[in-house]
Amino acid sequence: MKVSISVLMIYIPLTLIAGCGEKKQLSAEEQWQTFCKTYEGAAYNIMFDRQNDIPMEKSIEHLNKSPAGQQRDMLIDLVKQAHQVKKLDQQPDKEKAMEAFKQGKYQSCLNTSHPI
């Protein structure tokens, strides 16, 4: 059984940030910027999963274990978008697909309406 490690890794940076004690409290805008950086990396990882035969349902199942909200919904949308892309056979093509899928995700995330 294949397990999607990369989808599970999406929330580690957010967890680490939230778990750091005594550090400066991030503003809502800074928290969103941090999420957007994570979102960009998640796009790459989600396409990695797609190109390596991780079923969409399995990826969504892992994401559904995280707290409900806009961030989870955005990540689930990424999974659905990734599965609209053809699965490739050659590793160099897969790597190009992963890089291409990640492109522009940080900026598009920043431009998304979010609670501030």
Query: Of 1-15, 41-55, 58-72, where does mean pLDDT reach its minimum?
Result: 1-15
43 domain residue, yes or no: yes
Q: How far apart are CA 28 and CA 12, in angstroms?
A: 19
Q: How far apart are CA 9 and CA 31, in angstroms?
A: 18
**Considering the chain, what is the average pLDDT of its residues?**
88
pLDDT band at 24 (very low <50, low <70, confident <90, very high): confident
Range of the domain at 31: 5-110
116 domain residue, yes or no: no
- Residue whose C-alpha is closest to residue 41's, from 10, 63, 70, 67: 10
115 domain residue, yes or no: no
Average pLDDT over residues 15-26: 65
More confident: 52 or 24? 52
What does the DSSP 8-state code read for residue 65? T
Per-residue model confidence (pLDDT) at position 21: 54
Domains held by the chain: number: 1
35 domain residue, yes or no: yes
pLDDT at 1 over 60: no
pLDDT band at 35 (very low <50, low <70, confident <90, very high): very high
- Residue whose C-alpha is closest to residue 108's, from 7, 40, 30, 11: 40
